[in-house]
Amino acid sequence: MELQKLIEKAETTHKLTKEELTLLLSSSEAEEHLAAAADRVRKKYVGDAVHLRGLIEFSSYCRRNCMYCGLRRDNEKAGRYRLSPDEIKALAEKAVGYGYHTVVLQSGEDMWYTTERLVPIIRFIKNLGAAVTLSIGERTREEYAELKKAGADRFLLRIETTDRALYEKLDPGMSYDERCRCLHDLKELGYEVGTGCLIGLPGQTVEALAEDILFFQEIDADMVGIGPLIPNPDTPLGDEPTGDMGITRRMVSLIRLLLPEANIPATTAMETLIPHKGREIILKSGANVVMPNVTEGEAREKYALYPGKACVSDTPAYCRTCMETRINAIGRFIGSDAGARKHRR
Per-residue pLDDT of the chain (345 residues; tens, 9 = 90+): 699 999 999 999 999 999 999 999 999 999 999 999 999 999 999 999 999 999 999 999 999 999 999 999 999 999 999 999 999 999 999 999 999 999 999 999 999 999 999 999 999 999 999 999 999 999 999 999 999 999 999 999 999 999 999 999 999 999 999 999 999 999 999 999 999 999 999 999 999 999 999 999 999 999 999 999 999 999 999 999 999 999 999 999 999 999 999 999 999 888 888 888 999 999 999 999 999 999 999 999 889 888 888 888 889 999 999 999 999 999 999 999 999 998 876
Residues 6+ apart with CB under 8 A from 224: 194, 195, 196, 216, 255, 259, 262, 263, 264
pLDDT on residue 5 = 97
Binding positions are 62, 66, 69, 135, 160, 179
Mapping DSSP to helix (H, G, I), strand (E, B) and coil, where does residue 39 land?
helix
The answer to whether the beta carbons of residues 253 and 34 sit under 8 Å apart is yes
What element of type H or E holds 251? helix 245-258
Mapping DSSP to helix (H, G, I), strand (E, B) and coil, where does residue 34 land?
helix
Question: What are the residue ranges spanned by the domains of the chain?
Answer: 2-334
Burial class (CB in 10 A: 0-12, 13-18, 19+), 215: middle
Q: Which of 273, 274, 201, 288 is nearest to 241 (CA)?
A: 201
pLDDT on residue 1 = 61
Binding positions for S-adenosyl-L-methionine are 160, 179
pLDDT on residue 319 = 92
pLDDT on residue 345 = 60
Residues 6+ apart with CB under 8 A from 141: 185, 189
Mapping DSSP to helix (H, G, I), strand (E, B) and coil, where does residue 321 land?
helix
Whether this model's pTM surpasses 0.85? yes
Binding positions for [4Fe-4S] cluster are 62, 66, 69
Q: Which of 108, 155, 130 is nearest to 53 (CA)?
A: 130
The per-residue b/e assignment along 47-80, b for 16 or more CB within 10 angstroms, e otherwise, is: eebbbbbbbbbbbbbbebbbbbbbbbbebeebee
Pick the CATH number of 2-334 from 3.20.20.70, 3.40.30.10, 3.40.1110.10, 3.40.50.300: 3.20.20.70
- Give CA–CA dist 187/198, Å, rounded: 22
Q: How far apart are the first and last CA of the chain?
A: 33
Binding positions for (3R)-3-methyl-D-ornithine are 135
What element of type H or E holds 46? helix 31-46
The answer to whether the beta carbons of residues 60 and 303 sit under 8 Å apart is yes
